[in-house]
Amino acid sequence: MRIGNFNLKDDSEIFIIAELSANHNGSFEVAIETIRAAKRAGANCIKLQTYTADTMTIKCDKDDFLIQGTIWEGRNLHELYTEAYTPWEWHKTLFEVAEEEGLECFSSPFDPTAVDFLETLNTPAYKIASFEITDIPLIEYVASKGKPVIISTGIATKEDIELALDACYKAGNRDIALLKCTSSYPAPIEEANMIMIKDMAERYGVVTGLSDHTLGITVPIVATCFGAKIIEKHFILDKSIGGPDSSFSLDEQEFSEMVRAVRDAEKALGEVNYTPTEKQLSGRNFSRSLYAVEDIKAGELITAQNLRSIRPGFGLHPKHYEKLLDTYASRDYEKGDRFTLD
C-alpha cells in the first residue's frame, strides 16, 4: 500500500499525518503556514477535509440538527460546518505547498462531488472519516478511484467495518488501512483501546493505525507498540487562534515531541533476534562463571568450598558446576584461577 513515495507495508517508519481540519480558522495564510510548520514538526503528510456546509448537511433549525454531547454542544450543524470548512479554492495551492515542503497531501471527501474535485488534484489517497463509515455508497465511489483508502473506525461496530471493507473489495480495491479512533473530542485515554490496532490487523489482514483525539502524546506511543503503521493527529499552528478543533490539537512543539517519541518507540521495538549484539557480548564479561576461590592442589577434591560461580564471566559456564563437584583437580589452581573446558 503506497501513498506517494511512502510504502506503508514495507517502510520501517510509521506514516505520521498532521490533520489540518478547521485549524486554519478561516485564514488562507494560516493554512499555508500550518503546512510548513507540520513539515518542521516531522510530519510525513498533511491532511485536509473537503466539504461545504451544504454537502455535509442542510440548513435547518430543527432539534435534530443541533449538536448534543460534544464540545460543540447546542451548535447548529450547518453553522459549524460553515465555520470549519476549508474553501475548495484553497486546495490546489495547499497541495502545491505540501509538495514544495516534501509532504504528502490528501483529504477526507464527504460526498461524491468532493471525490471528483480531489481527483482533479491527483490526490494520492483518500481518508474516510469516522462518521462516514456507514456511507457505503461514498466508500464504494472512493474505492473505485483505485487509490489507497484509509478508514477511521471511531463510531464503527464490527459489522460497520466489515461492510466498509466489502464496499472497497466490491470496487476492486484492497489498498485499505483501518485506523482505531475514539470519536470523542477530546477522547478519554481510558477509551483509547489500543489493543484493537493489533487485532484489526490480524482479523482483517490490512494496514492498521491510529486517528487520535486524546490529549497529549501517550496514546500514539502506545499505538506504535501495537504495530500502528499510520498515526494521525490534529495539528494547529497556535492554539491561541482558537477554532472548533483547537482544544484537542497539538501545536508545533507538542507535535514535534510526539514525532520524536514515536520514532524513539519505533527504535525501541527492534526485531525478534536472539543473537546478542557486540555490546551485549562484551557485557557477558560481567556474568558469572566457575573459579577456584581457594588454592587447590593437583589431585585434591573439588568441593563447594573451593569452587564457586562468581563474577567475572571468563571461566567455565556455571552449567558445568555439578559435573566438577566431587572430582579431583588435574593440576594446581590458585585462588582466582578460572576453570576452562581443557
Which domain, by its residues, includes 39?
10-269
Count structural domains, the chain.
2
Residue 3, domain member (yes or no)? no
Backbone angles phi, psi at 87, to 5 degrees: -55, 135
**Burial code of 134-149, b = ≥16 C-beta within 10 A, e = fewer?**
ebeebbbbbbebebbb
* Longest distance between any two alpha carbons in the chain, whole Å: 102
Does residue 170 sit in the same domain as residue 188? yes
Residue 115, domain member (yes or no)? yes
pLDDT at 247: 83
| 32 CB-side CA count, 13 A | 9
Does residue 148 sit in the same domain as residue 215? yes
Does residue 285 sit in the same domain as residue 262? no
pLDDT at 11: 65
Does residue 209 sit in the same domain as residue 147? yes
Q: Please give, one letter per residue, the 3-state secondary structure of the chain.
A: CEECCEECCCCCCCEEEEECCCCCCCCHHHHHHHHHHHHHCCCCEEEEEECCHHHHCCCCCCHHHECCCCCCCCCEHHHHHHHHCCCHHHHHHHHHHHHHHCCEEEEEECCHHHHHHHHHCCCCCEEECHHHCCCHHHHHHHHCCCCCEEEECCCCCHHHHHHHHHHHHHCCCCCEEEEEECCCCCCCHHHCCCHHHHHHHHHHCCEEEEEECCCCCHHHHHHHHCCCCEEEEEECCCHHHCCCCHHHCECHHHHHHHHHHHHHHHHHHCCCCCCCCHHHHHHHHHCCEEEECCCECCCCECCCCCEEEECCCCCECHHHHHHHCCCECCCCECCCCECCCC
Residue 210, domain member (yes or no)? yes
Does residue 40 sit in the same domain as residue 186? yes
Does residue 136 sit in the same domain as residue 259? yes
User: What one-letter code names the amino acid at 267?
Assistant: K
The reported pTM is 0.87
pLDDT at 305: 97
Residue 5, domain member (yes or no)? no
Does residue 86 sit in the same domain as residue 202? yes
C-alpha cell at 96: 502545491
Residue 144, domain member (yes or no)? yes
CATH of the domain at 29: 3.20.20.70
pLDDT at 342: 76
Residue 156, domain member (yes or no)? yes
Residue 48, domain member (yes or no)? yes
Residue 151, domain member (yes or no)? yes
pLDDT at 182: 87
Does residue 201 sit in the same domain as residue 315? no
pLDDT at 270: 84
C-alpha cell at 238: 497556535
Does residue 208 sit in the same domain as residue 290? no
- The single residue listed with the C-alpha cell 489507497 is 148
Averaged pLDDT in 10-residue chunks for the chain of 342 residues: 86 90 94 98 98 93 85 84 93 98 98 98 97 96 98 94 98 97 86 95 97 94 96 94 84 97 93 86 90 96 97 95 95 95 79
Does residue 165 sit in the same domain as residue 289? no
Does residue 132 sit in the same domain as residue 23? yes
Does residue 165 sit in the same domain as residue 310? no
Backbone angles phi, psi at 45, to 5 degrees: -155, 150
pLDDT at 295: 97
C-alpha cell at 269: 521495538
